[in-house]
Amino acid sequence: MQGVLLARVRYAGTLAGRRAPGLEGGLEPRPEPGLEAGVTRSQEDTGERTAPLTSDELLAFLERLSIRTETREHPPVFTVAESQALREDIPGGHTKNLFLKDKKGRYFLLTVGETAEIDLKRIHSVIGAQGRVSFGKPEALMELLGVVPGAVTCFGIVNDTDRKVTLIFDEALMAHEIINGHPLRNDATTSIRRADLKRFVEATGHAFTVLNLSGSEAT
């Protein structure tokens, strides 16, 4: 599968009514006032549970926040090896995500580098979980993040309208200027600047933590 071309590139983010250039451009995105772009807030106000956002709706959400992203489509990938074979030269840090649950029923989403090794027997002491953690069930994954196994992504936090999931980034991953993840589906990869990723998370009403999840001190 090495060398398969990515099918399409989509840019999200506009400035002054024009399509924004790629991430290599020098213009800084400008936040819009308030959260009129925020689907999350309207859901809270009505108290209604709506269907999870689609990939296109996620990208539109980012665009309304004046956040530039670059999305490349490709065949579906289910493993890190498949992702590495398809992505060619997409710059930045590439992610894998662990959807975990502790003994108290609390959920955690750990977003780490694709080659990071996480010790599940000890990670609970790093993230503040109650007892050892296990992987969350697919039903909970869909209910809380709106994604299926194989498409787990930090972008899924936009669907956690009740803020039941604690989001934690690995500090080694966050050393990258550009972060890459699935836009709620595993047949595309979205690149976003680190600062804009943080702003996106905050726009959903979530807090996040950056911890040493994969380094020697984590074990």
What percentage of residues in the chain have a pLDDT greater than 70? Answer: 75
Q: Check residues 178 and 37 and name the one with the higher pLDDT.
A: 178
Q: What residue has token string 């950056």?
A: 210
The packing angle between helices 55-64 and 194-203, to 10°, is: 100
Token digits of residue 198: 């943080």
What is the pLDDT confidence band of residue 8, given thresholds at 50, 70 and 90?
very low
What is the pLDDT confidence band of residue 41, given thresholds at 50, 70 and 90?
very low
What percentage of residues in the chain have a pLDDT greater than 90? Answer: 67
- List, for residues 96-154, the tens digit of each pLDDT value: 999 999 999 999 999 999 999 999 999 999 999 999 999 999 999 999 999 999 999 99
Which pLDDT value is given to residue 48?
57
The answer to whether the CB of 94 falls within 8 A of the CB of 74 is: no
List of domains in the chain: 36-218 (3.90.960.10)
Mean pLDDT of 160-165: 98
Q: Check residues 171 and 27 and name the one with the higher pLDDT.
A: 171
In this model, does residue 7 exceed pLDDT 60?
A: no
Cα dihedral 196, 197, 201, 204, rounded to 10, equals: 60
Q: Check residues 129 and 9 and name the one with the higher pLDDT.
A: 129
- List, for residues 51-71, the tens digit of each pLDDT value: 999 999 999 999 999 999 999
Which pLDDT value is given to residue 84?
77
3-state SS of 117-181 is CCCCCCHHHHHCCCCCCEECCHHHHHHHHCCCCCCCCHHHHHHCCCCCEEEEEECCHHHCCEEEE
Which pLDDT value is given to residue 141?
98
